[in-house]
Amino acid sequence: MPAIICGSFAYDNIMSFHDRFKSHILPDKIHMLNVSFLVPAMRREFGGCAGNIAYNLMLLGDQPLPVGTVGKDFEPYREWLQDLGIDSRHVMTLDDCYTAQAFITTDMDDNQITAFHPGAMSHAHRNNLKDIQRGRIGIVSPDGKEGMVEHARQFAELGTPFIFDPGQGMPMFNGEELRDVIAKSTWVTVNDYEWQLMQDRTGWKAVDVLRNAEALIVTLGGQGSVIHTRDKTYEIPPAKVSAINDPTGCGDAYRAGLLHGLLHGMDWEITGRIAGLMGAIKIESPGTQNHRFTVPEFKARFRETYRISND
């Protein structure tokens, strides 16, 4: 049975401004800002949480089944998925929308200006999980708010265990809504900033989350991660990286590692380390779907990194 990946698909348009924003923005004129930046370097990457998670899960040798809504411009992305052997039959195309798009401009000081167009992502709720073959496990990752709420409800009604990964969608939810989705989920994963925001909005601590979900996973960037369960807290060390190239998509790679461990019944010590190594491999490459490895290569690096086996 596949892992059902609910979330966004997007094009990431990444541009480099070979100067500093501050040199072109007049502090006393920000109330009437009108600037233009020449960006001679640009690349277009396949992205979005569902696409990224599915890509990384595929690398690990699993069968992802992504679920999302995309626009009339999605065909190159769909061909990419098909070439990878990822089933895209439940990626719904809406002919009156564009696929979600991020336009990211970075200056020489690594400051960024980003514009995001949600496009078809706003219609994610139109995909009904009850129309999809049963999965062994699922994940609700950042997407249109209504879609996230509906897919959590549908997973619960189907009896499919799933991860709730609010990510950058966290600001869309109030405390009551977060508590409701957490109560339906089997596992919850956030980064340390999102965890603080979740606590502020819900009024819940880890013990409260664990009255509902079986585990709370909090990533700490370069410090590794912490996995809270009802019986024990696991401190997962960071994996060494050869270079820090691009952190975009590291969280999605980590979540694919979580899904892999859960799919194969691995314990949290191993699952957390697999997830951490996935994030480390991703950060070494630009973009979100450009890193590659074989399963034997991953196992060898896992043994080298942690001095234990994940077989």
Dihedral angle sign, alpha carbons of residues 52, 151, 62, 262: positive
What is the C-alpha separation between 302 and 284, in angstroms, rounded?
A: 16
Q: Averaged over 291-300, what is the pLDDT?
A: 97
Residue 133 has pLDDT above 90, yes or no: no
Please, which pLDDT band fits residue 25 given cuts at 50, 70 and 90? confident
27 lies in some domain: no
Q: For residue range 1-24, what is the model confidence (pLDDT) as tens digits?
A: 799 999 999 999 988 899 999 998
Q: For residue range 189-219, what is the model confidence (pLDDT) as tens digits?
A: 999 999 999 999 999 999 999 999 999 999 9
Question: What integer pLDDT is reported at residue 29 of this predicted model?
Answer: 76
Residue 112 has pLDDT above 90, yes or no: no
Q: Averaged over 34-59, what is the pLDDT?
A: 94
Q: Two tokens at 88?
A: 């895209």
Looking at the 3D structure of the chain, how many domains does it have?
A: 1
On whether the pTM is more than 0.85, the answer is yes
What CATH number is given to the structural domain containing 76? 3.40.1190.20
Closest Cα to residue 68, out of 155, 5, 132, 3?
5
Residues 155, 160, 162, 166: what is their CA dihedral angle, to the nearest 10 degrees? 0
105 lies in some domain: no
70 lies in some domain: yes
219 lies in some domain: yes
Q: Which residue has the higher pLDDT, 123 or 41?
A: 123
**Parent domain of 172:** 3-8+48-98+121-306
Angle at 45 between CA 44 and CA 51, to 5 degrees: 150
Question: What integer pLDDT is reported at residue 281 of this predicted model?
Answer: 97
- For residue 109, the one-letter residue type is D
Q: Averaged over 283-309, what is the pLDDT?
A: 94
57 lies in some domain: yes
Q: Which residue has the higher pLDDT, 108 or 69?
A: 69
Q: Which residue has the higher pLDDT, 9 or 245?
A: 9
Question: What integer pLDDT is reported at residue 295 of this predicted model?
Answer: 97
Q: For residue range 136-184, what is the model confidence (pLDDT) as tens digits?
A: 999 999 999 999 999 999 999 999 999 999 998 999 999 999 999 999 9
Q: Which residue has the higher pLDDT, 206 or 245?
A: 206
Contacts of 118 (CB under 8 A, 6+ apart): 100, 144
Question: What integer pLDDT is reported at residue 157 of this predicted model?
Answer: 96
What is the C-alpha separation between 108 and 241, in angstroms, rounded?
A: 24
Place of tokens 């109330």: 31
Question: What integer pLDDT is reported at residue 66 of this predicted model?
Answer: 97
Q: Averaged over 25-42, what is the pLDDT?
A: 85
Average pLDDT, the chain: 94
Closest Cα to residue 162, out of 129, 184, 195?
184
Q: Two tokens at 154?
A: 């549908």
Q: Averaged over 68-92, what is the pLDDT?
A: 97
21 lies in some domain: no
Half-sphere exposure of 260 (CA within 13 A, CB side): 30
